[in-house]
Amino acid sequence: MQLIRLLIEEAKQNRGKAFQYAKLNWRVVRSRGVELACLDNDGQLIDPVFDVKLTRQGIRDAVKDGLYMGAVKFALTGGIDGADSVWAMNNWEYEPRVEHWDGRTFTAEEIGVAIDEAA
């Protein structure tokens, strides 16, 4: 169960670094949230599950959803949007994904989710 704690801490660190890099070029930045990348056996993206809560239960629930899609590997990921002003950010005049971060790849079993829980 320790891996899931590590995944959460790494995600927070990676998101923080992405914010720092985005702030070098943009006056206003905003997180796109945390996503769970759902991967097949070859490591190819099947589909992301959006708006993952960065909690143990939130990640486990998202992984269960990913198992329904046939995913066998997962990674926490996210991005940062940038804009020149708060007005621009709030009025859809921003640049999406000016920074992006990815976490390590893991399996459902490694975080305590049994494959049969998704069935």
Tens-digit pLDDT profile for residues 32-69: 999 999 999 998 999 877 789 999 999 999 999 999 98
Token pair listed for 118: 């998704």
**How distant, in Å, are the alpha carbons of 23, 28, 113 from that of 106?**
30, 33, 11
Tell me the C-alpha distance between 55 and 60, whole Å.
Answer: 8
Mean confidence (pLDDT) of the chain = 92
pLDDT at residue 49, rounded to an integer:
75
pLDDT at residue 47, rounded to an integer:
80
**How distant, in Å, are the alpha carbons of 14, 26, 44, 89, 100 from that of 83?**
20, 6, 31, 5, 15
Q: How many helices (H) and strands (E) does the chain have?
A: 3, 4
User: Looking at the predicted structure, is the pLDDT value of residue 106 above 60?
Assistant: yes
Tell me the C-alpha distance between 4 and 38, whole Å.
Answer: 16
